[in-house]
A and B are shown apart, each in its own frame.
Chain A
Amino acid sequence: MRQIAADRLSPAQDDFYDALMQAHAGLSEAESHALNARLVLMMANRIGDVGALRELIDTARSYSDG
């Protein structure tokens, strides 16, 4: 079952999104994918709870078909 998460980003969501886009500025597509991969791994470490991470993986995956 897909997990619906409570919003924890607002009201700073635009600060985050802008920082993320700026981190990608000037990178090639391959470099951007590499940056994203590093970010996912680091965010996983920050979350630290493998059960929660499995839920996130399943939830993210659940959008792939739609």
Chain B
Amino acid sequence: MAYDYTPFPYTDPPGLTETEPRHAVVIVGAGPVGLAMAIDLALRGVKSVVLDDNNVVSMGSRAICWSKRTMEIFDRLGVGERMLAKGVTWKVGRNFHGHREVFSFDLLPEDGHKYPAFINLQQYYVEEYLVERARDFPELIDLRFRNKVVGHTDLDGCVQVEIETPSGSYKLETEYLIACDGAGSATRERMGLDFTGQTFQEQFLIADIEMEQSPFGDADVPERWFWFDPPFHPGKSALLHMQPDNIYRIDLQLDVDADGKAEAAEDRVIPRIKAVVGDKPFKLDWVSVYKFRCIKLDRFVHGRVVFVGDSAHVVSPFGARGGNGGIQDVDNLGWKLAAVLNGEADARLIETYHEERSHGSAENILNSTRSTNFMTPKSPIEALFRAEALKLAQDQPFAQKLLNSGRLSVPCSLEGMALQTPGAAQIAPGTALVDAPLSSEAGDTWLLREVQGEFTLVGFGDVVLPEVVGLRRIGINHRADYPCFTALQNHAIRRYGAGKAYLFRPDGHVCAVFDTPTEAAVREAMARACGAKLTEDTA
């Protein structure tokens, strides 16, 4: 059934009648990224004001594919389990060429992970769950709908924000302004920051349809189907995904010079959908025609203004790297911003958000650009190579690997960057945590549950952990006076190795590894992860 868009209520903000005290954080935009940012900060006791010019969740399903890493972050924020329960879990992707299936892949979620490789869930549900979760922190999160930011000025030591509401205008002061205002970021445009990159000429039609019967043939299991040159849409590409509530997403490549408006009209769209799903009855839920760009800002941090999510970087949708990239931005920035605001770290720590996430977004842009190029050959010779790769992919494994219909988002590694202490281990410093099931007298749990949120030193197998002030310790398959767990099916020990200690950052990335951790070495690694070794040059 179609989603019920209930508007969020507007109330007059205090700033209309009196000067508000200076805020620590103002977030522009109440999309998934802005809301996740507010919740992340609230979990660390940091107050924020979230301003949005609108008062409903995302119109249309928009971002639908949420990766395992994103789900693990959402778990920490308190919405992961709800999303998993509602979402569609899929793991098989099939690639077709003409009538023939050329290659399928199984994302093979190995045993012993709380979350699957991917779930599909409409952005409006994600926003609804995040708004409800934000309401759990009435003292810390101040959600203001129909509050449109129309100006901001970087003053000495704070940012002044000008806001329009249905009842008039007002101003706020904040220590940090977090721009989560999307691909068309007004904050970015106001600052005149260059945001030019590769624009693709191809247009895509995206349609959500509601249908009772499954379009995935007789098997009726959720999968990802991609067609190169399908019989129903010759010479172009097509993509089919399943969402909850019997909603299916269809993406169709259009001609370069297609008239976007005309293509989005129902009488043009319905025959195209019928060509994909056949005679099965369906209802159109949402249609959009889009072009895309692959761009990122040169710098994500501009003094007290920080860009997060699509305002900092945009990618083509193939590979599920937009929304997922934005949530990983939040995960990276949240603990750093909180540490700076709480006086536990120097402001330079925030610059490392740029170093680490700019790298991640460059990786996303590279991958999604290559996928798009493969899907939309630009010259006869590119078309020739692709046609022959598809031919060889009938039976040659190497050619199957060459087929690129989107390299699906995997967590980006921060190995070798300033905050990590170099070291050798099965899971190298910089890597995001690899989940594993654990148990204790209190019941079963997951590594991600015990590790994420604050600095945590974890001992795997026979290793002694020193006591370090302000640092959580846990042991796996050993006995000590701090919380200890058993590695179920030995997954945790197999994944991390026995006799090793790992130091995890609050965002769950490994930042140091030890064979024999001493108090001094662990303390030094933790200080380094908080920016103690950053020089003025890198800031």
A residues whose Cβ falls under 8 Å from a Cβ of B: 2, 4-10, 13-14, 17-18, 20-21, 24-25, 27, 29, 32-33, 63, 66
Contact = CB atoms under 8 A, between A and B. Distances in A.
Contacts of A66: 391, 394
Q: Say which size band chain B's interface belongs to.
A: 20 to 34
Contacts of B379: 24-25, 32
Contacts, number: 53
A9 B401 contact: yes
A2 B394 CA distance: 12
A20 B370 CA distance: 12
A66 B404 CA distance: 22
Contacts of B373: 18, 21
A50 to B, nearest CB: 21
- Nearest first, the 10 A-B pairs at minimum CB distance are A7-B398, A32-B381, A7-B397, A10-B401, A13-B401, A24-B381, A14-B370, A9-B398, A63-B391, A13-B402
B396 interface: yes
Contact of A17 (B381, B392, B394, B402): B402
A9 B396 CA distance: 12
Given A4-B396, A21-B373, A24-B382, A14 B404 contact: yes
Contacts of A24: 379, 381-382
A13 B407 CA distance: 12
A66 B395 CA distance: 12
B515 to A, nearest CB: 29
A37 B242 CA distance: 44
Interface of B: 367, 370, 373-374, 379-382, 385, 388, 391-392, 394-398, 400-402, 404, 407
Given A17-B374, A20-B385, A29 B397 contact: no
A5 B193 CA distance: 49
Nearest to A31: B381
A61 to B, nearest CB: 12
A17 B397 contact: no
Contacts of B398: 5-10, 13
Contacts of A32: 379, 381
Contacts of B395: 2, 4
B201 to A, nearest CB: 15
B396 A29 contact: no
B499 to A, nearest CB: 29
Q: Chain B: interface secondary structure? A: helix
Q: Chain A: interface secondary structure? A: loop
A29 B382 contact: no
A66 to B, nearest CB: 8
B224 to A, nearest CB: 19
Interface centre among A24, A25, A66 (most CB of B within 10 A): A24
Contacts of B367: 14
Given A5-B396, A18-B370, A66-B394, 18 more contacts: A2-B395, A4-B395, A5-B397, A5-B398, A7-B398, A7-B400, A9-B402, A10-B401, A13-B401, A14-B367, A17-B402, A20-B385, A21-B373, A21-B382, A24-B379, A24-B381, A29-B380, A66-B391
Contacts of A13: 398, 401-402
Nearest to B391: A63
B398 to A, nearest CB: 4
Contacts of A7: 397-398, 400-401
A13 B370 CA distance: 11
22 contacts: A4-B395, A4-B396, A4-B397, A6-B397, A6-B398, A7-B397, A7-B398, A7-B400, A9-B402, A10-B398, A13-B398, A17-B370, A17-B404, A18-B370, A21-B382, A21-B385, A24-B382, A29-B381, A32-B379, A33-B381, A63-B392, A63-B394
Contacts of A18: 370, 373
B369 to A, nearest CB: 9
Contacts of A20: 385
Nearest to A18: B370
Contacts of A8: 398
A2 B385 CA distance: 20
A29 B402 CA distance: 23
Nearest to A2: B395
Nearest to A10: B401
Contacts of A33: 381
Nearest to A32: B381
Contacts of B380: 29
A55 to B, nearest CB: 13
Interface centre among A8, A21, A32, A66 (most CB of B within 10 A): A21
Contacts of B381: 24, 27, 29, 32-33
A50 B407 CA distance: 36
Contacts of B391: 63, 66
Contacts of A6: 397-398
